Structure 1
Amino acid sequence: MAAEVKSTEFSGQVALIVGGAGGLGRESARLLASRGSHVVIADINESALLATAGDLADAGSVSTAVLDVTDTGAVESAVQSVVADHGRLDILVTSQGFPQDGRLTDMTDEQWHNVVNVCLTGTFNCIRAAARPMIKQEYGRIITFASRAWHGNPGQANYSAAKAGVVGLTRSVAKELGRYSITANAIAPGLIDTESLRQLPTYDSIAERAVKANSIRRLGLPEDVAAMVGYLASPAAGFLTGEVVHVSGGRFS
């Protein structure tokens, strides 16, 4: 049987995927690498990062960077290193983040700040750093990860606020940077069948409720989200900016 011919759609481009060791970041990295981009996957979890790099070895050209997105200096250095090593930065994907759920009156300051600092401030840090080389080259694709939760979820005041902030940030960036042929769009996934979701003791009940609420009666897959990353990162999406794309099987609120 003939070997599979890989796409060269992103040949010569460089992508930085933050949160790249997680399920959504990993599949996004796999897609972009398989289509010709050199992909730098960055994550705070070094062991998971190395495992992901091994998993992606056959996908294409991939390198790694250990990164804490809440550390402004570290983010600036990481972006500068990407540009120094590869000459450019074309695509930024910010897929980092996590929930720490709790009822409003029980939520601690720590729970609030942990989630907002990583999901929102970390996204700002990454976009600000990546915008500089993108402006110089007058080209870029910025893809942020919001969540269906940006509409508001009970027990997720911190996560919902952070993701709503990501939407506002992304739209502001789109208006500011469009003159440089830089687009900025947010993806808002619904419930996606990732490894971390399957590890929850309540997985079965959560999945059942989500499937019933979806118009498309299944859970989302990481590949569903990665496919949208691939489109938004492509030249074909050059006139699409400031949008929030729900990859949620028809469940919006």
Structure 2
Amino acid sequence: MAAIPARAVLVDIEGTTTDVRFVHETLFSVARRDLAGYVSAHAGSPEVEAARGAVARERGAREEAVSDGELAAALLAWIDEDRKETSLKALQGKIWRSAYESGGLRSHVYPDVEPALRRWRDSGVTLAVFSSGSVEAQELLFRHTTAGDLTGLFTRFFDTTTGPKREAAAYQRIAEALGVRPGEVLFLSDVAAELDAAAAAGMRAAQILRPGTARDAGGRHAVAERFDEIAVELAGA
């Protein structure tokens, strides 16, 4: 692959830096196991009440009509659906914090990721993350990896409070927040629809084909199986 000029690299997590199985089989399992207890113990907290409000709105009910038990059941169903609901993601982040900080959880990052990120960062390229998981969950994942604390490599973390990952406007906002033009950003993801949205915003985009990822971008974007197959050069250097 020819070198790609960029001032910033924006990365997805699930299926890109991190094995999908870690997210679905480990993180989601921890959330399922601990969710009901967390809802009960933290009723009234901003995260729990935001989730209660989301469930109530979907049902057309008043928030006070949604009991803790009903809330937990609804959120478990959303986890099973892999619902990209911002309030659910925020709640999951709180649950995962306890698991990470107890030392019982370490996150998976593909071995090619850290060296490539460090190489790009050291060349002057800004690194950022865009994931449907909350900013808190993103920071926890990269702080507690099997390769050590990687949070220092990133300048910013973005979640769906910035906008849906399949809408171009979210990527335009991210470029503005990073202080660069969209065309100076390279977005890496395994999901073609996200790459299409980034490209529609003017970003460069490349699909990461980890094991089990289907090549479904139809030739619209560059393709790589590993981060070390991607050469990034600082734009304007």
TM tier relative to shorter chain: 0.3 to 0.5
